[in-house]
Every structure is written in structure tokens, then in C-alpha cells.
Structure 1
Amino acid sequence: MNRLLLILLAIFLPPVAVFLKGGAGKELLINIVLCLLFFFPGMVHALWVCTR
């Protein structure tokens, strides 16, 4: 998948970006919990997952 598209998704829809990058696993669960607590940590985690 295009890296730029993944980065944009990680900024606006973090769980979707993590799901597209790694599937339904522990990273997605961590990201959903972070997004439910606060949006910013979920966005940072999604950027980290998508760029590593």
C-alpha cells in the first residue's frame, strides 16, 4: 500500500491505518484503546506502526 496514503490515514483514522498495515492483531487493539483514551496517542502510535 502507498506509504503516503497510510500516513494520511494514520493522522485522520488511526485504527484503519493500523488495520491495513498489520491486520487484526495486538497492534490494532492497542491503537483502539489509545484512541478511546485520547486521540493524539492513538495517532502517534498509528504513525509509528505505519512507518517502521
Structure 2
Amino acid sequence: MDLIRILAAIFLPPLGVFLQVGIGKDFWINIILTFFGYIPGIVHAIWVIAKK
């Protein structure tokens, strides 16, 4: 299942975070980071998925 989340995080970072933690502060942080730059959103999403 983590592989699916990581692939989702690469193509659409907020989706990867949503699949891991749902709608919470990490999700909204990732939305903001993805808005400011795609790469920061990917890095944050993979970090959230890896730490859980």
C-alpha cells in the first residue's frame, strides 16, 4: 500500500498525504507547499508517508 501512496505523492502530492493521514494539518500544509512549488509538495508528501 505504501507504494501506491508514494506513486500518488509523486503525481499528485496532496492525494498521497490524504491517503496516509486524511484531511488534517499535514494535508493542508501539503496543499500550500504544492501551490508554492511542486517539488516541495512532493518532498513533504513522501516525508509524511515515510514517517508513519
SS at match of 2:23: coil
Unpaired runs of at least 5, structure 1 = none
Q: How far does residue 40 in structure 1 lie from its aligned partner after superposition?
A: 0.2
Number of the residue aligned with 2:22: 23
Note the aligned Cα RMSD (angstroms).
Answer: 0.5
Determine whether 1:8 maps to 2:19. Answer: no
For residue 4 of structure 1, what is the amino acid of its counterpart? L
TM-score normalized by the length of structure 2: 0.94
Q: Match for residue 41 of structure 2?
A: 42
Displaced runs of 4+ in structure 1, greater than 3 A? Answer: none
Unpaired runs of 5+ in structure 2?
A: none
Equivalent residue letter for 2:13: P
Q: Structure with the greater relative contact order (CA < 8 A, sep ≥ 6): 1 or 2?
A: 1
**Aligned AA (1:38):** G
Identity score, percent: 51
